[in-house]
Structure 1
Amino acid sequence: MKALLFDFDGVLVKSMEDHYEGWRRALLEYGIEMSPEELYMMEGQGVRTVASQITRKYNLPREETGEIIRKKQAYYNQIKKIQFYPNLIDVLNWAKEKGLLLAVVTGGARERIMEALENFGLSDYFSAIVTSDDVAETKPSPQPYLIAALRLNCKPEECVVIENAPLGIMSGKNAGMKVVALTTTLSPQHLREADLVVGNFIELLDVLKKLY
C-alpha cells in the first residue's frame, strides 16, 4: 500500500445530509418526494448526471435539468454546514507519518472541494485532487481513480480507496484497487461489494494499519 484515495462527500466531510436536503427542497417544487437512500445510491456521478437521472426517473422535461440544479445549489448554499468527520485527522496524520500518498477523488466541483479543504487547513495533506472538472467519465467508471493513481505515480494495486457509496465502490474496484467502505450514509448491505466495511474512522485506522 502506497496511497490512500478518499472520496469527499460522506467520507471526508459530513455533507450528504445537506446535499439531500437541497435536492429534497428543489424537487418538492415539482411535487416529487425523494428518499435519502435514493440520492445516496446515485452519489459519485456529479450533479448534472444525478439531475439528468432524476428528470428521467420522474418524467420531468429534460430542459428542466439546469433549473433543478440551480434550485438545488441555492438551497444547499443556504443550509450547508461543512463538518469533517471525527478522528479523520488521526487517519491523515498516521498516513503522512508512514509516507503514504493521499488523494481526493470526487464527483464534486473543484472550487467547492478546494474551498473546504483550505478552510480547514487540510489541503496540504493531499498530493492530488481529482474532481468532476478533471474527468470525462464519472463514477462508476474507473477513470477518476485511475487518474488519481497516475498523478501520484502509483500502480492501481498499490492504492486503497475509501468510499461510502456503491458507485464509488464500483469505480475503485473497476480500477483494480482495494476498497474500504464507511457506513456514514448507507447500511453495510448496500456496501457489500467493498473489500472491507467499517463504521467510523477509528475502525478505518485499525484496518489500514493491518493493510500496511
Structure 2
Amino acid sequence: MMKDIDAVLFDLDGSLVDSMGIWKEIDVEYLGRYHIPLPEGLQGEIEGMSFSETASYFKERFCIPEDVDQIKEDWNRMAWDKYTHQVPLKDGAREFVEYCRANGIRLGIATSNSRQLVENVMSVHGILDYFDTIVTGCDVEKGKPAPDVYLEAARQCRVDPERCLVFEDIIPGIMAGKAAGMKVCAVADEYSRHQEQEKRHLSDYFIKDYLDIMEKI
C-alpha cells in the first residue's frame, strides 16, 4: 500500500476520527430548534458536501431563517465541546501518522468539515503540527465526489496526485480520491457499514483500522 507514496491524505470524520455519529446528534438538536424532525436518509443526502454547501442545503430545504454564515457558526459552537471531549482517533491512527512523519511522507487533511473543528480535534490529540496542509470543501469550487479538495491538498503538499494515498470512509469521498487519480484506501466505520461491499469495490484497499497497516509495516 505504501509503495511509491509521497503523501497521505486523510478525510477527517469517520476516516481519521470517530465522529460520524456526533453529526446526527447535532442535526437532531439543530432541527429540533425549529420543531423539525430529522428526515430519514438526511445524512446520505449531504454526504460529501462542504460545510458551506450543507448549510445552504439546510437553509433552503428546511427554510431556516438564519443566513448561511450563522448556521455554520451555530454548528461549530454545537460541535466544539463534542470534538474536544467525545471524538477519539481511529485505532492506530496516531501510530500511523507518526510513522508517516518519521519516514518523510507528507500529510494532509481533505475534509468537508470546518477548519475550526479540524484544528480543534487535531490539537486535542496533539497531532496538528504533523500535518503539512488542511484543505476544506469551502476552500475549493466543488465538494466531494468532485476531486477538487484532494487535488488542492496534493498541490499544497507539492506531490503529484498519482503518488498520493487517500483514506476515506464514505463513497463520495472514495470517488473523489479516485477521480483525482490517487490510490484510495477505504476505512471501516459503523456509520457506513451497510455500504462496506461497495466501498471495497470502489477502493484500492480496505482496512478495519490503522492497526491493520501498522501490523504490516
Q: Which TM-score band (shorter chain)?
A: 0.7 to 0.9
Q: Which residue of 1 aligns with 2:6?
A: 2
**Residues 1:32 and 2:32 aligned together:** no
Q: Which residue of 2 aligns with 1:121?
A: 126
Q: 1:50 aligns with which of 44, 50, 54?
A: 54
How far 1:5 moved relative to its partner?
A: 0.4
Aligned-partner Cα distance in 1 for 2:198–2:64: 29
Residues 110-119 or 164-173, more deviating: 110-119
Q: Which residue of 2 aligns with 1:111?
A: 116
Q: Which residue of 1 aligns with 2:21?
A: 17
How far 1:189 moved relative to its partner?
A: 2.8
SS in structure 1 opposite 2:206?
A: strand
Q: 1:178 aligns with which of 180, 183, 188?
A: 183
Aligned-partner Cα distance in 1 for 2:213–2:48: 21
TM-score where L is the length of structure 1: 0.82
| Structure 1 residues 159 and 43: CA distance shift in structure 2, 3 A | same
| Structure 1 residues 91 and 11: CA distance shift in structure 2, 3 A | same
Aligned-partner Cα distance in 2 for 1:33–1:193: 29
Deviation string 1:27-72 (CA, Å, 9 cap, x unpaired) is: 244432245x64156333223322444566xx53375674765654
Q: Is the 8 A contact 1:20 1:39 kept in 2?
A: yes
Report the RMSD for the aligned CA atoms in angstroms: 2.6
Q: Is the 8 A contact 1:169 1:181 kept in 2?
A: yes
Aligned-partner Cα distance in 1 for 2:198–2:55: 22
Q: Which residue of 1 aligns with 2:93?
A: 88
Identity of aligned residues (%): 27
Q: 1:76 aligns with which of 62, 76, 79?
A: 79
Q: 2:203 aligns with which of 171, 194, 197?
A: 194
| Structure 1 residues 143 and 41: CA distance shift in structure 2, 3 A | same
SS in structure 2 opposite 1:186?
A: helix
How many correspondences in the alignment?
A: 205
| Structure 1 residues 158 and 105: CA distance shift in structure 2, 3 A | same
How far 1:20 moved relative to its partner?
A: 1.3
| Structure 1 residues 203 and 41: CA distance shift in structure 2, 3 A | farther
Aligned-partner Cα distance in 2 for 1:52–1:143: 19
Q: Is the 8 A contact 1:104 1:126 kept in 2?
A: yes
Q: Is the 8 A contact 1:21 1:76 kept in 2?
A: no
* Structure 1: 5+ residue stretches without partners: none
Aligned pairs (5 A) from 1:87-166: 87-166=92-171
Q: 1:61 aligns with which of 19, 43, 63?
A: 63
Q: Is the 8 A contact 2:108 2:132 kept in 1?
A: yes
* Structure 2: 5+ residue stretches without partners: none
SS in structure 2 opposite 1:86?
A: coil
TM-score where L is the length of structure 2: 0.81
| Structure 1 residues 123 and 193: CA distance shift in structure 2, 3 A | same
